[in-house]
Amino acid sequence: MSRRGRGAESGEAKVVEVLAASTRGPLKPKEIARAAGVATSEYRRFKRLLTGLERAGKIYRVKGHRYALSGRLELGPGIVSLTRAGDAFVRPDAGGGDLFVPAKNLATAMDGDHVVTRIESRPRGRSPVARVIKVLDRARETIVGTFHGSRRFDYVVPVDRRLSKDVLVPSDAGGDATDGDVVVVRLDSYGEGRVGPVGTVVKVLGSLSDPGVDVLAVAHGFGLSSDFPPSVMAAAQEAAELGMGQVTDEWVDRTEMLVFTIDPADAKDHDDALSVTEIAEGRFEVGVHIADVSHFVPEGGELDIEALARGTSVYLVDRTIPMLPEALSAYVCSLKGGVERLAVSVFIELDPSGQVHGRRYERTRVRCSDGLSYEQVQAVLDGEGSVSPAVDQAIRTLDDLARGVRALREQRGALDLEIGEAQVVLDERGHPVDIRRRERLESHRLIEDFMVLANEVVAGDMEARDIAALYRVHEPPSRERADELRDLLGRIGHRLPKRKSLEPRDLQHLLLAVRGRHEAALVSTVVLRSLAKARYDDKNLGHFGLASSAYLHFTSPIRRYPDLVVHREVVRSLVGREPPRVWEPGELASIAQRASAREQAAAEAERASVALKKVEFMERHLGDEFEGKISGVAAFGFFVTLERYFVDGLVHVNSLRDDFYRLQEQTYALVGERGRRTYRLGDRVRVQVTRVDKEARHVDFLLVRTLANAD
């Protein structure tokens, strides 16, 4: 059991036990305390426990200030995800299948809100139908949209089409906005019933056609701001100036060690660096050196509070919104070449097969000899470039060791879905000039292998020493999802073992079997959709995708808050050998939940910014024809990803005039009722670009003809 609070966990268990055993229904706090044997001197702490359990959605307060178990009332907390139709699905915090919430049952809940739902019906073969009864936390205080003025009233139409309600703007709350401006509006009221939300314009971003306004609108739409409060900027500057002056012999001098970073060519925040030393015949010590952000960002200070609120750095298509001010993220914390920097280093002893034989931790002072790009390192590996004899040899040794580490991970069943990613090339004004599939080099794999290894080593040590941590968890597919996956694969001639739960190796063997075949896209997509989303948790639930029994994030504290939390405990317990920290009830779980939510918002913002530029790029290709593959199928049509430009567009079902097509969900296909012509995920087609809508981030294609699939 973790040291995050044996007393807290036993207190929580006692509360659950008392409420579960109650024959009188919901109980008052004093009644629960009496039944649980809580001493009078501990009552105030006990009340805080009840509040924490209520915030977490584990218990629920009803009329008369009485508490009941959420399960007894079929209540539960979860995150809202709105559909374009205005309905929603709620992902329960406790896991399991999503709940369907019709638009009329949403009350004032918006996309991303943390809510409590009550299950109202359980239709056979479909998701349970629920109603939102309480909003616990609002995902947004502002909305970005297009301002429209009229004689009677002003209003803002949200850019995010999932937000179906316009925001009413009182006549004196429009500021300097004029018709057609993209604005940020603060929500003063979330509405109720038929009354929509009401807000005040707080910022005018400009016209959607102005350079950079489109991406700025995306950033504000997801609550992302590149501007830090003045007090946070001042704190960062003070930390940068004082931090290096407060270095003691606690940091081991490793400045003579050959250490270098490998990052994108335009990177400013260098979190991690590598070193390698041969320590015996067939044994090597790989140093994974991570920026010592914890030294500059004290827990509970202004910098820490701001970093927690942001959760992560965000990499939009034309800009980076950092988690920490640049004085830290791009300068004093960043492991820049040629200057002394502070790090937390884990030295891992390996043999060429990738087997770990030992590890040790240090707080270090390092001086990176070089800041290398992935392309430079790849040139060394290909024998087409050189940095220096010593660095070249270190790169080749690290690559050999990384291959051994990777092979061991693959042996235990780790998945490699190889999901494609778009790279948008912009000109100096921010306009897209090319879009291509981002290349995955062996140098990328090298870094990934050692970062994953370091994260696993730290997770294993914290688990073994009973140290509370924020774990990166990835749960196995639910039994329902596994059964659906078996059924679909069976229809296309592939089988999975018939056991209660799938193992990573089952899916790994399947993906290897279809690699290079025309159905590979279909299989990869359905496997991906069967998997849960990775998230943060204060409990170690393992990582299915990596086939890892313990995993966390340690390697990027400049840009991810969970890594910073882990760093503090590594410094305290694994370097300093002090007793692990004991957390307040629910505190670590709350950080995990917030970090997961901020990560999801960042990922959605990044995808949205790329989608904007894809649409802008396709404006110049109206009427042009391209070849592509069907990458998604829905009742209203199918999506095609172009092979040349890695851009997605929709072939609407109404444009398929030769037949009436219906969706076959089980096979991810549209099938004609009369001719039985089929359009299935992974099929190759030729399409024409017919329509582009930048505001909706949408491209329409017209099917020209189908193409032969090549194995």
What is d(CA 240, CA 633) in angstroms, rounded to the nearest whole number? 51
Residue 284 has pLDDT above 90, yes or no: yes
What is d(CA 580, CA 685) in angstroms, rounded to the nearest whole number? 58
The pLDDT score that the predictor gives to residue 711 is 56
Q: Where are the domains of the chain?
A: 6-71, 74-137, 142-207, 230-469+552-607, 622-706
Look up residue 224 and give its two tokens: 């992302």
The pLDDT score that the predictor gives to residue 169 is 93
Residue 63 has pLDDT above 80, yes or no: no
Q: Closest by alpha carbon to 157, among 169, 142, 171, 147?
A: 147
The pLDDT score that the predictor gives to residue 3 is 44
Q: Closest by alpha carbon to 444, among 477, 484, 485, 402?
A: 402
Q: Distance of alpha carbon 413 from its chain centroid, rounded?
A: 23
Look up residue 193 and give its two tokens: 């019933």
- Give CATH for domain 6-71: 1.10.10.10
pLDDT tens readout for residues 393-402:
999 999 999 9
The pLDDT score that the predictor gives to residue 263 is 95
- Give CATH for domain 74-137: 2.40.50.140
pLDDT tens readout for residues 626-640:
999 998 888 899 999
- E-assigned strands of 36-113? 59-62, 66-69, 75-82, 88-92, 99-101
pLDDT band at 4 (very low <50, low <70, confident <90, very high): very low
- E-assigned strands of 28-173? 59-62, 66-69, 75-82, 88-92, 99-101, 114-121, 129-137, 142-148, 154-158, 167-169
Mean pLDDT score, 96-124: 84
Q: 389-411 vs 374-381: helix axis angle to the nearest 10?
A: 90
State the alpha helices, DSSP H only, in 209-327. 213-221, 230-243, 293-296, 302-310, 326
Range ranked top by mean pLDDT from 135-144, 213-222, 454-463, 504-513: 454-463
pLDDT tens readout for residues 234-276:
999 999 998 888 888 899 999 999 999 999 998 889 999 999 9
Class of domain 622-706: mainly beta
- Which 8-state DSSP code applies to residue 192? B
Say whether 74-137 and 6-71 share the same fold. Answer: no
The pLDDT score that the predictor gives to residue 8 is 55
Residue type, 9: E
Residue 2 has pLDDT above 50, yes or no: no
C-alpha torsion sign, points 510, 511, 516, 517: positive
The pLDDT score that the predictor gives to residue 72 is 58
Range ranked top by mean pLDDT from 33-47, 449-463, 503-517: 449-463
pLDDT band at 10 (very low <50, low <70, confident <90, very high): low
Topology, domain 142-207? OB fold (Dihydrolipoamide Acetyltransferase, E2P) (2.40.50)
Residue 6 has pLDDT above 50, yes or no: no
Mean pLDDT score, 281-299: 95
